[in-house]
């Protein structure tokens, strides 16, 4: 597979929901199939998952802290560069793991599978609370199913279906890695990325270029406070 | 789907060697116990069954339903899964009131009239508990015994699961004999992980495990059934003594001898 065919996956979910554990199973198995994976972690103020992935799998990794910036804004800014970087590494799949953001935006982009990871232990109302992070995803992976009653698992799933009819729901047992094969099959069936890339859904009312509706990926397409993958944020305006 | 049998095809033990028991078949209506010392792999075995292991778990076992690999729909929708596992860790995390939660579950399952299912489930659970469950209590406020009773009742009645796996219910603080008696009224496959001789000998057969592997299958014969009756008497005696302590009573010196004699044991020298 050459650079032209690179594909990407955006994985989001509330903190501690098990995104990293799920993705580790995914990377391990995809790597076993001979696929080249790169990993980008976007978080607000702390993350060490990039080091974990680099150490465990020896794959190219990067990490970005959104810091003072709105994390979704940061995501839009850096993804364009990140795709270029991953393509430069000769990657088949770029896996982007992002923190649970503000529940008003979603980090998914058109043309790349969007996966939300939710823990069954987080309460049955969670699917009703997190808005587009769930409803704009293609697949919902439910973790920690061994810790809750069968009854609550079923209610949790039904609440996901209620907010997102037709959602592809996968229950996983991270201990055994059960259910991961379905996630991988889905990722592998995705199409190569097409440029320009656009954010899914409509951001909330606001005043930054993304908030006012400019959805094209990459900081070069925006004004105001910008942030490339490498280097600090800066201001560009007229 | 109608379930006739669940087949477990043996994998490997902790030493990586093939399991001595290469195939076990559970048929509809069977009551089975899994016995063995702590850490021998009993819980792993029922986890394999619950997950319909397909040579994709550390034990490399394969579990078949009616002789075939699990249909994809079980993985797609847990409410289609015919197996309910009540593990030692399983808990209710929701703080919804008990009756409201049961109603939500009954509405999702569509196994019958929700009001009737909720009443039946509470009735079942209350026969297993010391103190009856207040239907208006939050589920997280239930005691350990009440929680376990409700989990079992919900799996049997609302979930209507044809296969029920119960991990060490003797430690759950519920009325075991009553539980077994009530469960026998439902035609299902019941698999108990247990250290309790009373439960083990009330089963049709038991699987003996050690070192992560299924070693032997022992069918409860006539002789063991009569032994089970003696164990029942002694166990009931202990439960009576527990009842006395629980309700604030005292136990006198000659109490045990008298009670043993009353159940037909000659214990005087």
Q: What is the model's pLDDT at position A181?
A: 83
B107 falls within a domain: yes
Which residue of chain B comes nearest to A158, CA vs CA?
B108
In terms of domains, do B6 and B67 share one? yes
Please give the mean pLDDT across all residues of chain B: 89
Q: What is the model's pLDDT at position A101?
A: 63
Q: What is the model's pLDDT at position B236?
A: 85
Interchain pair B92, A149: CB under 8 A: yes
| Nearest one of A197, A186, A192 to A109, comparing CA atoms | A197
Report the alpha-carbon distance of residue A164 to residue A139 in Å, rounded: 10
- The partner residue sitting opposite A149, judged by closest CB among B81, B91, B109, is B91
Q: Which residues in chain A have their CB less than 8 angstroms from residue B161's CB?
A: 150
Which residue of chain A comes nearest to B109, CA vs CA?
A154
Interchain pair B96, A154: CB under 8 A: no
In terms of domains, do B13 and B52 share one? yes
In terms of domains, do B70 and B192 share one? yes
- The partner residue sitting opposite B56, judged by closest CB among A124, A154, A178, is A178
Q: Which residues in chain A have their CB less than 8 angstroms from residue B49's CB?
A: none
Non-local CB neighbours of B50 within 8 Å, separated by 6+ positions: B83, B85, B165
Which residue of chain B comes nearest to A141, CA vs CA?
B76
pLDDT along chain A (238 residues), means of 10: 74 90 94 95 90 96 88 87 95 89 80 94 88 93 86 89 92 78 91 90 76 87 88 83
What average pLDDT score do residues B83-105 get?
86
DSSP-derived letter for residue A14 is S
CB of B144 within 8 Å of a chain A CB? The answer is no
In terms of domains, do B67 and B10 share one? yes
Name the residue with tokens 């209610």: A155
B72 falls within a domain: yes
Interchain pair B109, A157: CB under 8 A: no
In terms of domains, do B56 and B104 share one? no
In terms of domains, do B40 and B102 share one? no
Question: Which domain covers residue B68, as residue numbers?
Answer: 1-82+162-220
Following DSSP, what letter does each residue of A74-103 receive, concatenated?
HHHHHHHHHHHHHHHTT-SEEEEEE----S
Distance between A171 CA and the closest CA of chain B, angstroms: 7
pTM of the model: 0.79
In terms of domains, do B4 and B66 share one? yes
Distance between A135 CA and the closest CA of chain B, angstroms: 18
In terms of domains, do B13 and B128 share one? no
Interchain pair A176, B51: CB under 8 A: yes
Q: What are phi and psi of B209, to 5 degrees?
A: -120, 150
- The partner residue sitting opposite B89, judged by closest CB among A147, A155, A169, is A147
Q: Which residues in chain B have their CB less than 8 angstroms from residue A159's CB?
A: none
Q: What is the model's pLDDT at position B94?
A: 81
Q: Which region holds residue A224: left if phi is over 0, alpha if psi is between -120 and 50, else beta?
A: left
Structure tokens, B156: 């049997």
Ranges B24-28, B66-70, B168-172, most confident:
B24-28
Interchain pair B51, A173: CB under 8 A: yes
In terms of domains, do B29 and B128 share one? no
Contact B65, B52 (CB under 8 A): yes
In terms of domains, do B70 and B179 share one? yes
Which residue of chain B comes nearest to A173, CA vs CA?
B51
CB of B138 within 8 Å of a chain A CB? The answer is no
Q: What is the model's pLDDT at position A186?
A: 93
Q: What confidence category does residue B269 fall into, taking pLDDT thresholds of 50, 70 and 90?
A: low
In terms of domains, do B96 and B147 share one? yes
DSSP-H helix ranges across B110-249: 114-128, 144-153, 176-184, 197-202, 222-246
CA separation, residue B216 to residues B7, B36, B213 (Å): 15, 11, 9
| Nearest one of B43, B37, B53, B49 to B3, comparing CA atoms | B49
Q: Which residues in chain B have their CB less than 8 angstroms from residue A165's CB?
A: none
B78 falls within a domain: yes
DSSP collapsed to 3 states, chain A: CCHHHCEEEEEECCCCCCHHHHHHHHHHHHHHCCCCEEEEEEECCCCCHHHHHHHHHCCCEEEEECCCCCHHHHHHHHHHHHHHHHHHCCCCEEEEEECCCCCCCCCCECCCCEEEEEEHHHCCCHHHHCCHHHHCCCEEEEECHHHECHHHHHHHHHHHHHHCCCCEEEECECCCCECHHHHHHHHHCCCCCCCCCEECCCCCCCCCCCCCCCCECCHHHCCEEECCCCCCCEEECC
- Determine what percent of chain B falls in helix, strand and coil, rounding each to the nearest 5: 45, 20, 40
Q: Which residues in chain B have their CB less than 8 angstroms from residue A157's CB?
A: 77-79
As beta bridge partners, residue A71 has none
Interchain pair A150, B85: CB under 8 A: yes
Total count of domains within chain B: 3
Contact B138, B96 (CB under 8 A): yes
What's the gap between Cα A185 and its chain centre?
Answer: 17
Following DSSP, what letter does each residue of A105-128 receive, concatenated?
S---BTTS-EEEEEEGGG-TTHHH
Structure tokens, B233: 């008497």
CA separation, residue A144 to residues A71, B48, B56, B93 (Å): 26, 16, 18, 12
Interchain pair B154, A182: CB under 8 A: no
Non-local CB neighbours of B116 within 8 Å, separated by 6+ positions: none
Number of Cβ within 10 Å of residue B1's Cβ equals 11
- The partner residue sitting opposite A152, judged by closest CB among B47, B77, B92, is B92
Q: What is the model's pLDDT at position A224?
A: 84
CB of B78 within 8 Å of a chain A CB? The answer is yes
Q: Which residues in chain A have their CB less than 8 angstroms from residue B47's CB?
A: 146, 176
Report the alpha-carbon distance of residue B84 to residue B74 in Å, rounded: 12
Q: Which residues in chain A have their CB less than 8 angstroms from residue B87's CB?
A: 146
Interchain pair A178, B78: CB under 8 A: no
Report the alpha-carbon distance of residue A172 to residue B105 in Å, rounded: 21
Per CATH, domain A3-236 is 3.40.50.300: yes
B87 falls within a domain: no
Q: What is the model's pLDDT at position B249?
A: 93
Report the alpha-carbon distance of residue A71 to residue A100 in Å, rounded: 9
Residue pLDDT, tens place only, B32-84: 999 999 999 998 899 899 888 888 788 999 999 999 988 877 766 767 778 88
B109 falls within a domain: yes
- The partner residue sitting opposite B78, judged by closest CB among A146, A154, A181, is A154
Q: What is the model's pLDDT at position B266?
A: 80
Q: What is the model's pLDDT at position B97?
A: 92
In terms of domains, do B136 and B9 share one? no
Query: Chain B interface, mutation test: which of A150, A180, A183, most B Cβ atoms within 10 Å?
Result: A150
Greater confidence (A147 vs B191) lies with B191
Domain boundaries, chain A: 3-236
Q: How many helices (H) and strands (E) does chain A have?
A: 7, 9
- Establish, for the pair of chains A and B, how many residue pairs have beta carbons separated by less than 8 Å: 77
């Amino acid at each position: 597979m050459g650079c032209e065919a690179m594909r990407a996956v955006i994985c989001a979910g509330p903190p501690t929901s098990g995104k990293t554990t799920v993705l580790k199973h995914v990377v391990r198995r995809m790597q076993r199939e001979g696929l080249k994976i790169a990993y980008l972690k976007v978080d607000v103020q702390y993350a060490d998952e990039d080091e974990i992935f680099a150490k465990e799998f020896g794959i190219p990794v990067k990490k970005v802290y959104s810091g003072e910036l709105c994390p979704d804004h940061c995501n839009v800014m850096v993804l364009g560069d990140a795709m270029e970087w991953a393509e430069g590494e000769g990657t088949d799949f770029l896996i982007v793991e992002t923190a649970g953001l503000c529940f008003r935006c979603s980090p998914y982009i058109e043309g790349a599978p969007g996966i939300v990871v939710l823990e069954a232990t987080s309460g049955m109302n969670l699917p009703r609370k997190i808005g587009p992070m769930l409803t704009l995803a293609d697949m919902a992976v439910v973790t920690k199913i061994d810790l809750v009653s069968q009854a609550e698992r079923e209610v949790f799933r039904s609440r996901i279906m209620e907010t997102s009819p037709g959602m592809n729901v996968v229950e996983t047992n991270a201990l055994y890695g059960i259910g991961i094969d379905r996630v991988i099959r889905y990722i592998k069936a995705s199409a190569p990325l097409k440029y320009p890339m656009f954010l899914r859904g409509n951001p909330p009312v606001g005043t930054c270029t993304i908030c006012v509706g400019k959805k094209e990926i990459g900081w070069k397409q925006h004004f105001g406070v910008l942030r490339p993958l490498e280097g600090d944020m800066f201001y560009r305006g007229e | 789907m109608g379930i006739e049998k669940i087949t477990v095809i043996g994998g490997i033990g902790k030493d990586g060697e093939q399991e001595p028991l290469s195939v076990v078949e559970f048929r509809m209506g069977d009551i089975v116990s899994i016995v063995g010392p702590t850490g021998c792999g009993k819980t792993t075995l029922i986890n394999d069954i619950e997950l319909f292991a397909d040579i994709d778990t550390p034990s490399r076992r394969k579990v078949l339903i009616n002789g075939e690999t699990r249909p994809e729909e079980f993985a797609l929708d847990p409410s289609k899964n015919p197996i309910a596992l009540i593990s030692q860790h399983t808990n209710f995390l929701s703080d919804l009131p008990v009756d409201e939660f049961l109603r939500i579950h009954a509405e999702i399952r569509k196994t019958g009239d929700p009001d009737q299912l909720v009443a039946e489930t509470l009735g079942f659970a209350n026969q297993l508990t010391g103190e009856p469950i207040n239907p208006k209590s939050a589920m997280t406020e239930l005691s350990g015994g009440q929680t376990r009773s409700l989990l079992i009742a919900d799996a049997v009645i609302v979930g209507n699961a044809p296969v029920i796996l119960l991990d060490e219910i003797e430690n759950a603080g519920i009325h075991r004999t009553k539980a077994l008696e009530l469960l026998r009224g439902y035609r299902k496959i019941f698999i108990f992980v247990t250290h309790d001789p009373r439960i083990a000998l009330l089963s049709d057969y038991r699987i003996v495990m050690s070192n992560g592997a299924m070693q032997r299958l022992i069918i409860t014969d006539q002789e063991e059934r009569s032994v089970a009756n003696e164990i029942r008497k002694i166990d009931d005696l202990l439960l009576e003594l527990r009842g006395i302590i629980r309700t604030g009573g005292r136990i006198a010196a000659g109490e045990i001898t008298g009670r043993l004699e009353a159940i037909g044991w000659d214990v005087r020298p």
